[in-house]
Every structure is written in structure tokens, then in C-alpha cells.
Structure 1
């Protein structure tokens, strides 16, 4: 597997990219990709160790996602299979109470989405291609219970649409990564929870939550 390294540049995140997830949070289903950012300091590897999170900021919600990594600068007309060299699974963590307060004030979500360790991520592994990915489910287990299952074929905006939209509006180059959106089944983490990220039937990353 290809390790997480310090060559990661921008971290883009796609919100509300699965219809049932948008509905479970009573959010409108978007008509174009909806993106936000995380700082690189948010990333923490799912290598079996503890992930330290704040205990004084209210509910922390987990959102399991497929993560794609860009291998070269995007050029118009470029396909996903030639742009993406590897993928990972990740968990986008959200400070729910903080986010709700920010929404009410009309403020950006950075405090709720970009805090330290808010982007748990497995090691990267080679991208098998779009069509093969459609044959493989990815999932999240919490304390041995499967809580989320995703497949790219169920995305509102597919990987090609996501990379084109991101490149057009923000730019997209080597080392950029994109959290591509979460399926339904999100919930809150608790102290001591064991999180396991599964590609097909293989565990490729795990973490233990520690609230301090």
C-alpha cells in the first residue's frame, strides 16, 4: 500500500453526495456538487492507534467516505482513470453543535469540519478504475457493528463530475485529495469506540476514539 505522506496538498470534501444521506439529515438534495475544505492538519491515519477528539464541543458525527488522490494536474477532458492514481477510505468528522451554530449565523463550517484529527484516513492503495470500483462496496464498522455501506454507483455526482467541477472552480493538481461524500447511516462517536474501515471484505484501517 501507498502510505499517507506530506505530499498531500488540498483536501476537498463533497457534501450531500448520496440522496439517502441528504434526506436522513433533512437537507435538500443538491443539484450541483457542494464542496468544503479541510486543512492538512485535520488528517490522521487509521493505523490502529487512538484518535484524540474534543470532549467539550458537543456531538461528533462520523461520515465514512471514499477518498481519491490526484496524480497529475488536471487538463480539460481528462478522465478519472488517468487522473487518479490511488484511493483510500476516510471518515469526515463533524462537530454537530458547532456546525448548527455556524449555520444559524451564516458562517463558514471550518470550525466544525476542520478541527485537528477531523479527517481519519487509511493508507492509500492503487485505484482499480471506475468500473471495478462499482463492483466493490466499502463500509464502516463501529464496535463490530456495520453502520455504513457505500458504493460509488449510488453517488449523486460521480467521480468524473466531481473532479471536473473541482478543477473548474478551484483547480486540481498532483497531491490533492477529495473526500467524495458519505452514504446514509451517519451517527455519533463515543469515547472508546473502535472504528474499522472495510474495502470489500478487507479491513484496511482502524482507529480508537478518545475524547479528552
Structure 2
């Protein structure tokens, strides 16, 4: 069962990039539990905190699967976020991180996955924001608080309709996102440095994402 689930995750990760670009650049997030060093000499590191909660289908709390970014004409899938807490029906809390070369980078979307017995649902939080990546830095881009709530007519779905049963049971197809992006630099960076002391020799600057706007639904 576990191997089947892992294969399913890999397929979803690959599809996340293939849908957008036709080619996949899949990389582990640079800040990991077993890390002891981070090199920003060629690529800076963007870091943030994300919480995801599903009130539309509380029995199916999603996990953060991947974050898709675009640099130039290339798309990148950043996988293996750090799980900070799993809070039952109150959702999950993560640190995420992404390497990027200096210059403009687009944060396209965030993909979630919900699993149950023979049920696999997935959803995409569309972000579509640009980040001006500086040289040789760790950059905090904010605290993203996302909640899946019941969808009303005209609102963007939290995930696709197909497969019908999986997407409905997990609350993605009939749900939508409420999102708040906030600046919690002091608290988040304090926890980050506590968990990863090797970051203390790095300058951690701040470039908070703009407030989230729900995508326009084209009927």
C-alpha cells in the first residue's frame, strides 16, 4: 500500500509540471530535517511557512505535495517540505523552501494531496506571483494560511472534478480556498533558526508575497 501511494505521489508531482510545461524539473526542497549546510553562492533560497486545513471534508486533511515555480521558460517542482505539525482536523503546518537563481521568478501554484482508503484527491492553490530573487541570500516570503471551504457558484474549485468520487469525497471539487498571506518574520525565522542552527550564518532577508487574490473563473 505504501509503495503504491509513493508511486501515486510521483505521478502527481510529474503531472504538476507536465501540465504547465511539457518537461519536469523536480528537486527536493533545500532545507531538510537531516541537513547541516546550505549553499546560496549560486542559488538563493526562498523560505516560508504554510498551513493547510480542510473544513469542507474534515476527514481528509491534505498534505503539501509540491510547489511549482517558473524561471524564464522552465518550470520547477519543489518537493519534500518539512512537516512541522499534523493537527488532526485542524490540518497540517509546514516549512517550505525553494532554490532559485537571482532575478525574477514566478511562484505559480501549490499542489495538495489527500489520501484515504482507496481514495486519492488532489488540488491546486493558484498563486501566480513574481519574486525578485536577490543574490546569495535566504529570503523569507511569508506565512501562507490556506483553508478549503465549501464552494459557492462562480468561485474557483480547490481541485479538478475528475475523478468524480475521489475529488468529491476529499472536498476538492466542491471546495474553494480562503487564503491569508501574512508577515510573521520574527516568529517564523526564530523557529527556523531553532530547528536549523546551520542557517544562523546566513542573512535572512524579507520579501513578503502580496495579498492573495482568488483567480477569476471563466465560465
Instruction: Give the TM-score taking structure 1 as reference length.
Output: 0.32
Compare the two structures and name the one with the higher strand fraction: 2
Work out which of the two has the higher radius of gyration on C-alpha atoms and give 1 or 2. 2
**Highest relative contact order (Cα 8 Å, sep 6+), 1 or 2?**
1
Instruction: Give the TM-score taking structure 2 as reference length.
Output: 0.32
